[in-house]
């Protein structure tokens, strides 16, 4: 391993940023995760000459993200961040589950340095791909030092730096597909210069490191599922999931986390059997505010996919 101070480690996991299409005009129907991290870095002249190493951990379409890859990524990110010569780590990833991986890493990696996720909405073969600029910007954040020195799990897309814990994918096709909801961006990248808008996220480093140790010790992922509440809903899905072994359920409720009475009754039966339940909102922005005393437990500001990760980690810690 090189020991140049200020080294950035790029860990590739796949995604559209590493995807190739048959035609340059094609933005859909391409194959994600074809190129390794080494190729993405080598293709970017602006990165040449920088102390940078790339490793390909996976070549996934991120809709297929799996437990072993998450565990490997968290382990490798933590190992590299702990090396004194490493300034920061960049993760190239698909956009589809980027918010889940960002939240997961935020919860398990004690990132006292920048751990920066990036991705692209257009494949590497596109006429105007967004991946190269996003990768360059992510490396810039990972190398940031001095007054602007970043830390924590971050995501960089379209010249915007988001807190990993606040990231949401809000569009399926457009290049500006991400938001931090009510919280807004942490920083902007303008001509390669970082303009910080608000403080970098504070991370309880010891608690977070303990979560990673327990995860890596067991590598067992408790079964936690998401059930959407909607018009004409009934309790069949909840009952079936409990019968199939779910140990946790997130109810993606309507509006401010309201849940159809039939689903609520089934969730009550599940809780009586020891299944953990959290009530989130299926709305694209906002979370669950307040609640009546007899409501199902609230996920607060967490999105359904974030609440699912919380339940998984809770169950893991209790195992």
Residue 32 binds to ligand SIN (criterion: CB under 6 A): yes
Residue 130 binds to ligand SIN (criterion: CB under 6 A): no
Retrieve residue 291's tokens: 């609640």
* Region of 90-98, 230-238, 268-276, 301-309 interacting with ligand SIN (CB under 6 A): 90-98
- Is the CB of 119 or the CB of 227 nearer to ligand SIN? 119
301 part of the active site: no
Instruction: Find the binder of ligand SIN among 12, 36, 88, 94 (CB under 6 A).
Output: 94
Retrieve residue 146's tokens: 């001095």
CB of 159 to ligand SIN, least distance (A): 17
CB of 33 to ligand SIN, least distance (A): 6
Query: Which residues have CB under 8 Å from 94's CB, separation 6+?
Result: 13, 14, 15, 16, 17, 32, 33, 60, 61, 62, 63, 65, 119
CB of 300 to ligand SIN, least distance (A): 27
Distance (Å, whole) CA 34 – CA 32? 6
Residue 96 binds to ligand SIN (criterion: CB under 6 A): yes
Catalytic residue among 7, 13, 16, 118: 16
Q: How far is CA 26 from CA 59, 60, 95, 121, 175, in A?
A: 20, 19, 17, 11, 14
Backbone angles phi, psi at 138, to 5 degrees: -65, -40
Residue 187 binds to ligand SIN (criterion: CB under 6 A): no
34 near 20, Cβ under 8 Å? yes
Instruction: Find the binder of ligand SIN among 92, 95, 101, 179 (CB under 6 A).
Output: 95
- Is the CB of 119 or the CB of 266 nearer to ligand SIN? 119
Q: Is 121 helix (H, G, I), strand (E, B) or coil?
A: coil
Beta-sheet strand order (sheet of 224-228): 224-228, 248-253, 276-281
CB of 98 to ligand SIN, least distance (A): 7
Active-site residue set: 16
Residues that bind ligand SIN (CB under 6 A): 14-16, 32, 61-63, 94-96, 119, 121
């Amino acid at each position: 391993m090189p020991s140049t101070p200020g080294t950035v480690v790029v860990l590739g996991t796949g995604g559209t940023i590493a995807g190739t299409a048959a035609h340059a005009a094609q933005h859909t129907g391409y194959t994600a995760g074809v190129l390794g991290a080494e190729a993405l870095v080598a293709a970017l002249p602006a990165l040449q000459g920088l102390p940078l190493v790339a490793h390909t951990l996976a070549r996934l379409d991120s809709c297929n993200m799996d437990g072993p890859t998450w565990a490997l990524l968290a382990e490798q990110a933590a190992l590299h961040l702990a090396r004194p010569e490493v300034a920061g780590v960049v993760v190239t990833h698909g956009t589809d589950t980027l918010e889940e991986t960002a939240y997961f890493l935020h919860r398990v990696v004690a990132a006292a340095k920048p751990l920066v996720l990036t991705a692209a909405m257009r494949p590497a073969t596109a006429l105007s791909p967004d991946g190269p600029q996003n990768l360059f910007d992510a490396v810039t954040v990972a190398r940031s030092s001095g007054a602007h020195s970043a830390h924590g799990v971050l995501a960089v897309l379209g010249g915007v730096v988001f807190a990993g814990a606040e990231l949401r994918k809000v569009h399926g096709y457009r290049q500006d597909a991400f938001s931090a909801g009510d919280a807004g961006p942490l920083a902007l990248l303008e001509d390669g210069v970082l303009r910080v808008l608000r403080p970098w996220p504070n991370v309880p480093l010891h608690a977070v490191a303990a979560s990673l140790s327990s995860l890596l010790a067991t590598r067992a992922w408790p079964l936690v599922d998401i059930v959407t509440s909607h018009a004409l809903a009934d309790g069949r899905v909840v009952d079936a999931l409990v019968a199939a072994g779910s140990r946790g359920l997130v109810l993606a409720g309507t509006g401010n986390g309201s849940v159809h009475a039939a689903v609520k009754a089934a969730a009550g039966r599940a809780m009586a059997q020891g299944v953990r339940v959290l009530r989130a909102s299926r709305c694209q922005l906002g979370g669950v505010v307040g609640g009546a005393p007899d409501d199902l437990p609230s996920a607060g500001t967490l999105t359904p996919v974030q609440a699912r990760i919380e339940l998984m980690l809770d169950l893991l810690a209790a195992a």
